Chain A
Amino acid sequence: MDTIARLFGNRKLLLVGLFVLLSVFVATFPLYARAFDIRVLTSMLMYIILAVSWAMFSGSTGYMSLAPAAFFGIGVYTIALAQDYLPFYVIIFVGGLVSFAFALLVGLVTLRLKGIYFTIFTFGLVVFLSEMVYYVASQVGQTRGIDIMPQPRATLLYTMFGLAVVTVIAIYFIRRSRLGLALLSIGGNEEAAAHMGINTTRVKVLGFAISALFMGAAGVVTAPALIYIDNRIAFSLFYSFMPILMAVFGGMGQLYGPVIGAAVFGYLAKTLRAQLYDYFMLGFGIILVVVILFLPNGIVGLVPMLQNKLGGVIAKLRKGGQANQHANT
């Protein structure tokens, strides 16, 4: 009992242990899993990247962006256009950087918009890019879409896992950094933030662009599994709505909220969609409404609630951890 308590108390050890277990699981997964399951896992990881990076900007600042599909699509088109000239792993960086640069540009123009106007603009951005790409494609070539050179499933899984790990770690540090604090304060009260010396425009644009970087990179790594892409596939609004729903479902107060939300719904979206799509969307809607009504902090908000309910038992288990926390304050 004591050992368990100490393990739970030492969060770092717990996290490292979880990470090692997860790595071993992902590394060995292709050895025994079905091809379909490998794709499911890859897709879950993709949604984790999208949901976590969306929550980093929109969850903190309250600027609800519907642009994930735009940046994701930019990543997809980056690999579509660059696959004959650059190696896959270089394109991941390029795709991220192109998305980053595009978000900087868009952010400078649009982050002056507040509330619903910003949201509508980001929605329009996805539609605009999609139509734009379609127009250019129809002018330049005979076909609407582009074939993407496929990659081994295991390679894509490992790459997506690596990217997800990098994303989560990077965003963990951003949330704890000055930039993270500034983004959060903008969500608290933007006017007050400006009066405390924060260059709100710069912070917002930078936060928006960093989140776009990861979304673009995720687009690059997803593209080979799609084999063929066109504007409707690359800029599907599904990539905008899903990460938001996942982040809200998981809860945005903690970093692991969107991770859990994305993992759960990423799995269900991929597995149930094939056979029970209508029921899936229906169930998804009901669950989301319930979560919003009863769990304003998302599914991870359950943890402190359960702790209160189960008080004694868990308190004993976590004694070590709380002693540590008291020592820090």
Chain B
Amino acid sequence: MRILEGQGVSKYFGGLAAVSKVDFYVDQGEILGLIGPNGAGKTTLFNLISGALPLSSGEIRFKDQKLNGLKPHQICQRGVGRTFQETKVFSNMLVFQNVLVGSFFGSPNRVPAEDAAREVSQALEFVGLSAMRATPVKDLTLANQKRVEVARALATKPELLLLDELMAGLNPAEVGEAMELVTKIRDKGITIFMVEHVMKAIMGICGRIMVLHHGEKIAEGTPQEIAASETVIEIYLGEETRAAS
């Protein structure tokens, strides 16, 4: 079943097409990877899905309901959670308060305080931050701040989670832990759509991969197909050749 579906999704910044007529879908329960060179429009596509930016044209449907024109808070409450490429934690708050925000406001219905407290503990336990619940977020390492973002998004009880470069800036050990975490989230029954530059991670855990280049979708398939695709290799290698010359 398709949980998220986009048709002719486009976003123009002035004359520049950041995302151009992209058709895509995410199946329930899968991990879909989104790759592409810098400036390909990956984060812009995420921003269109989460409502941070309005669409120029096209349509995005979540569970067969149109998301077009909805505000970010409404899209969140319908079950789409997200993290950010550059971490956007609430740096003026403690770890558990960050997650509490997700728990209190992520549902369309009022969440009783006891339930929220329990959800926060569960989410922190899940990402492995229980010991730091009362620490100011600004004192955490980047890897742990990213865990806070994941816990905060999980506390909103999403059915679909958008992960924007979760592994960027992490060391190899931390990347391994993050991959484990993403798989664990999928095993909970949450569908995942992730932007990633770390190829090891994307090839290791994604069931399917989609490639954007200059705002257009140029390839889609299993990790094996993508790794073997000539168009994809050309884009990545072509860039490298140009950069080298």
Contacts and interface: CB of A to CB of B under 8 A. Distances in A.
Contact of B88 (A189, A197, A200, A329): A189
Contacts of A305: none
B93 A178 contact: no
A198 B73 contact: yes
Contact of B89 (A181, A192, A200): A192
Interface in A270-297: none
B235 to A, nearest CB: 30
A34 interface: no
B217 interface: no
A19 B116 CA distance: 33
Interface in A181-203: 181-182, 184-185, 187-189, 191-200
Contacts of A191: 52, 72, 84, 88
Given A188-B93, A195-B50, A195-B72, A181 B88 contact: no
Contacts of A189: 88-91
Contacts of A187: 90, 92
Given A196-B106, A197-B156, A185 B73 contact: no
Contact of B90 (A184, A194, A199, A200): A184
A282 B223 CA distance: 69
B165 to A, nearest CB: 15
Contacts of A329: 134
B91 A196 contact: no
Given A185-B90, A188-B89, A188-B91, A195 B76 contact: yes
B77 interface: yes
B84 A192 contact: yes
A178 B111 CA distance: 11
A194 B73 contact: yes
Contacts of A192: 84, 88-90, 152
Nearest to A329: B134
Nearest to B113: A178
Nearest to B155: A196
B89 A196 contact: no
Interface residues of B, number: 29
A238 to B, nearest CB: 29
A178 B106 CA distance: 12
Contacts of B134: 329
Contacts of B76: 194-197
Contacts of B81: 195
Interface in A34-67: none
A194 B72 CA distance: 6
B52 A193 contact: no
Contacts of A198: 73, 101, 105
Contacts of B88: 189, 191-192
A184 B152 contact: no
Contacts of B92: 184, 187-188
Nearest to B162: A195
B89 A182 contact: no
Given A188-B92, A189-B88, A196 B101 contact: yes
Nearest to A253: B92
A280 to B, nearest CB: 33
A178 B112 CA distance: 11
A196 B156 CA distance: 7
B82 A185 contact: no
A106 B212 CA distance: 43
B112 to A, nearest CB: 11
B90 A188 contact: yes
B149 to A, nearest CB: 8
Contacts of A197: 73, 76-77, 102, 105-107, 156
B100 A195 contact: no
Chain A CB count within 10 A is highest, among B52, B71, B101, B106, for B101
17 contacts: A181-B104, A185-B90, A188-B93, A191-B52, A191-B72, A192-B89, A193-B101, A194-B52, A194-B71, A194-B76, A195-B73, A195-B81, A196-B102, A196-B152, A197-B77, A199-B71, A200-B73
Interface of A: 178, 181-182, 184-185, 187-189, 191-200, 329
Given A185-B93, A185-B101, A198-B101, 18 more contacts: A178-B104, A184-B90, A184-B97, A185-B90, A187-B92, A188-B91, A189-B88, A191-B52, A191-B72, A192-B90, A194-B72, A195-B52, A195-B81, A196-B76, A197-B102, A197-B107, A199-B73, A329-B134
